[in-house]
A and B are shown apart, each in its own frame.
Chain A
Amino acid sequence: MNKHNKIKNGLQTLWTFLKKPTAKYSLGTLLIVGFVSGIIFWGGFNTAMEMTNTEEFCISCHEMRVNVFEEYKDTIHYTNRTGVRATCPDCHVPKEWVYKFVRKIKATNELYHKALGSIDTPEKFEAKRLQLAQNVWKTMKETDSRECRNCHDFKSMDYTEQGRRSMQQHQKGVDEGKTCIDCHKGIAHSSPEMYGIDPSTALEHR
């Protein structure tokens, strides 16, 4: 009880201190100091957030490095004829600030599971792969594949330059209001066990 009172008193003192108008510093000094420290904090915050937005950061955990990163190295988003590469955050973190910030907050849940060791062996990862994949598919469906469209936009797509099959399928897709992830699943990482999703495309359990 005594401790509780102490905290309460402390908070009260702080509040009175903050409320008290200053007689020592000029308004100009306060503004300039506030302005400069604002820039420093904001810049620092964003720089720190950008540091978590690199492939290097993503694969600094073995969960990402030995599973999904290895699989992605075999795909077209890693090597291709034009040399354009999409790294982890290009597809998995939104570009716009607000959405990015929300995603970063959600990522704290990943820290929790890192501590729990939920996917710390390839076997554990494999057991959870369907769930993890479905989470990503769901998000991409909800955002109309926003991260894909940072590079691949229907509006800038020239169907006549595409192959016969993709030309047909893409136009059909636009007409039906489909989004990238509806068809392009499992293109950057191994697919999960398909038996639960489309039994016709997996070897039966035996």
Chain B
Amino acid sequence: MKRPTLVVMVLGLSLLVSQAGAEQVKSLRGGNPLENSAKIPASLKVQNDRDPITRDYVQQPPLIPHHIKGYKVNMKMNKCLTCHSWSNYKEAGATKISQTHFNDRENNVLANIAPRRYFCTQCHVTQVNAPPLVENTFTPLETIKRY
């Protein structure tokens, strides 16, 4: 076999491979041509005002069963604590924050919520009415399941 023929063959093969590869790669926009606008994703609504959501595993930070739009958490104020702090939970009829949140990282118990636990939404989140992205067969432990 002559050298030029080999080169042509290799080039042709690589072209075939790259074309096959290009067909498999799909843009995030799907088959939507660039000049068309992307489809507006379905608007997701925060689940609002339901009973406390049962935990799925022991260490799970409880989920937020109401919307928190416009709730500010900064150094000056923490909107969550206006209902969930120990001084306010009874009047507000809210869940009180866990005692563990008063511990600093050396396990010293502080008089108020520890700064490392102050920013509620680092762990506690709201839920939206989105369908699960992948199938999930996870079931919580029998010991913490509540019906």
Chain A interface (Cβ < 8 Å from any Cβ of B): 74-76, 163-166, 168-169, 186-187, 190-195, 198-204, 206
Contacts and interface: CB of A to CB of B under 8 A. Distances in A.
B55 interface: no
A201 B88 contact: yes
Contacts of B33: none
Given A198-B87, A198-B88, A168 B77 contact: no
B3 interface: no
Nearest to A193: B76
A84 B141 CA distance: 48
Interface of B: 48-50, 66, 69-70, 72, 75-79, 81-82, 85-88, 92-93, 111-113, 115, 118
Is the contact region of chain A dominated by helix, strand, or loop, or is it mixed? Answer: loop
B78 A202 contact: yes
B49 A164 contact: yes
A169 B78 CA distance: 20
A202 B77 contact: yes
B66 A201 contact: no
Nearest to B89: A200
A193 B74 CA distance: 10
Contacts of A200: 81, 85-88, 112-113
Given A168-B93, A200-B86, A163 B66 contact: yes
B78 A190 contact: no
A198 to B, nearest CB: 7
Which of B82, B92, B113 has the most chain A CB within a 10 Å cutoff?
B82
B70 A165 contact: no
For B75, B76, B118, which residue has the most chain A Cβ atoms within 10 angstroms?
Answer: B76
A147 to B, nearest CB: 20
Contacts of A193: 76-77
A203 B75 contact: yes
Contact of B50 (A164, A169, A187, A192): A164
A186 B77 contact: yes
